[in-house]
Amino acid sequence: MNYVIGIDIGGTHFRVGLFDQDGGRLLVSEDATLRSGGRDWMLQQVRERSRVLTERADYTVKACGVSFGGPVDLGRQQVSSIHAPGWASFPLAKWVRENLNLECCLDNDANAGGLGEYRYGAGRGSHSMVYVTVSTGIGSGLICDGKIFRGKDNLAGEIGHIPVSDSGGVCSCGGRGCLETFCSGTAIARRGQDWASRRPEQVSRIVELSGGRAGKITAKSVIQAAAEGNMAASQILRESARWLARALLIIIRVVNPDRIVLGGGVAQAGGVLLDPVREFLEELGSPSIGYTTEIVLSELGIYSPLYGAAAMALDLIGAAPAGADS
């Protein structure tokens, strides 16, 4: 039996997991990311938690896969994120080799999440699958015939930065009118805050769920209020769902995958988001171009990238993937 370590480094949480060669999750060590701790704090956490899991493993740990929540230079196997202080150009795979003594493969969280769902989650049994992650930003991982489709510049799947409207604001990428400015978790929170300033009486429940401060409204509080039946919150989510449906229809038109798997923090909303997405997909679709692509929620939830990181590690040592078609 071969064991591997999967690591998921995100802006709000990080996770280190011990997996067996069938992708079985044996142990997970996770916590909130201390942003003020920067890169050194995170690396120390990863090193210590990996050491503890390795010590508790019944079999030898053979390799490590790392999912990073930001842009990654795949060729150099280093982080290329400019938004996370201290991480720019950091050779993370090399660090793992030298500090954990494990072969390592690094990828971004959208690709890792896609691979995780394809092998072990809602994408099992599909030939082509697109994983769409909606959280602070929006990304996607394209899986074609069992492999991550990357494109010439490793930029395939950057759906959050498709310009969908001339009317949108400036995006984190510097572009204007990107999908991400309309339906990411950040956009949902901003829309909630807009409502609070214009129609405070309608969003009192959302404000209450945000600790009583309109400026602290998050996507999570909007989603919770919508789940309770709050009209304004439902309306905010419907606006986002309409934009998301547009993006999913673009994916269907370009890729026509077997399945689209919705993941990321916002997708944890479940039906209050998925139901209007399905409704708008129907409305925006064409009566003459039918499709059978399924839209489903992720099965692994917040753990999709961690499972994907384990899958990357298993690929490194040539372990047979369970549940994969290829």
- Which one, 23 or 139, has the nearer CB to Zn ion? 139
Rg (the chain; Cα; Å) = 20
Site membership for Zn ion, residue 46 (CB under 5 A): no
Contacts of 309 (CB under 8 A, 6+ apart): 6, 7, 8, 17, 64, 65, 66, 67, 107, 112, 116
At its nearest, how many Å lie between Zn ion and the CB of residue 180?
A: 5
At its nearest, how many Å lie between Zn ion and the CB of residue 189?
A: 17
What's the rounded Cα separation, in Å, for the pair 115 and 117? 6
**DSSP three-state, residue 180:** helix
What's the rounded Cα separation, in Å, for the pair 309 and 304? 9
Per CB under 5 A, contacts with Zn ion among 81-100 are none
**135 within 8 A of 185, measured Cβ to Cβ:** yes
Among 4, 142, 178, 311, which residue sits at the site for Zn ion (rule: CB under 5 A)? Answer: 178
Binding mask 153-172 for Zn ion (x = CB under 5 A): --------x---------x-
One-letter identity of residue 11: G
- Which one, 46 or 138, has the nearer CB to Zn ion? 138
Among 88, 144, 173, 295, which residue sits at the site for Zn ion (rule: CB under 5 A)? Answer: 173
Strand partners, 131: 141, 261
- Closest listed residue to residue 305, CA positions, set 25, 21, 22: 25
- Which one, 86 or 175, has the nearer CB to Zn ion? 175
How many residues contact Zn ion, by CB under 5 A? 5
- Which one, 171 or 233, has the nearer CB to Zn ion? 171
At its nearest, how many Å lie between Zn ion and the CB of residue 179?
A: 8
- Which one, 11 or 175, has the nearer CB to Zn ion? 175
**DSSP three-state, residue 118:** helix
- Which one, 155 or 289, has the nearer CB to Zn ion? 155
Residues interacting with Zn ion, by CB under 5 A?
161, 171, 173, 175, 178
